[in-house]
Amino acid sequence: MLIATGVLSYPDAGPERSLRDLDPARLARAFAVNAIGPALLFKHFAPLLSRYERSVAATLSARVGSIGDNRLGGWHGYRASKAALNQLVRTASVELSRTRPGCVCVAVHPGTVDTPLSAPFAKAGLAVRPPAEAAARLLDLTDRLAPADTGRFLDVDGREILW
């Protein structure tokens, strides 16, 4: 199972760049798409995962959802909702390891993918991958994961990201 949802901005509002930009409705929308939606997908699809054979439950997160790696600030709703997603994945991994010991449950940062989400924010010199390449790399990573990897936050190359 690979959950690939995410929203950074909306046509009527970009990501919050400072505290003065915070709006409860925008924050709620970010949490609904980036954290609550994936949590409900885990809830409903986890029972379909094999109880003993290797299976993978992965969701796309974002490096900017790392609390330990936040040096720039801004993007409050996106960062906070992806951090919440990471906690939901970590918590789900604990439960799934008890009921489905062959399951690998991880949060994965796919890198910057050439999509409408990243287009307005892509910087010169930033490695931006076409969607097909990003998908292939994600599938390669999930093929290499073992149950011992459950509960981790990884980049697409398999490197650990700070929570």
- Rounded to an integer, the average pLDDT of 72-97 is 97
DSSP 41: H
**How confident is the prediction for the chain on average, in pLDDT?**
93
Q: Between the CA of residue 8 and those of 21, 45, 150, 154, what are the distances in Å?
A: 14, 25, 26, 20
User: Quick one: CATH architecture of 2-155?
Assistant: 3-Layer(aba) Sandwich (3.40)
- Rounded to an integer, the average pLDDT of 146-158 is 97
pLDDT at residue 53 greater than cutoff 90: yes
* pLDDT tens digits, one per residue of 125-150: 678 899 999 999 999 999 999 999 99
pLDDT at residue 44 greater than cutoff 70: yes
The tokens of 72 are what?
């720039």
Integer Cα distance of 84 and 122 in angstroms: 24
Task: Return the minimum-mean-pLDDT range out of 2-16, 94-108, 109-123.
Answer: 109-123
pLDDT at 12: 84
Q: Where are the domains of the chain?
A: 2-155
pLDDT at residue 124 greater than cutoff 90: no
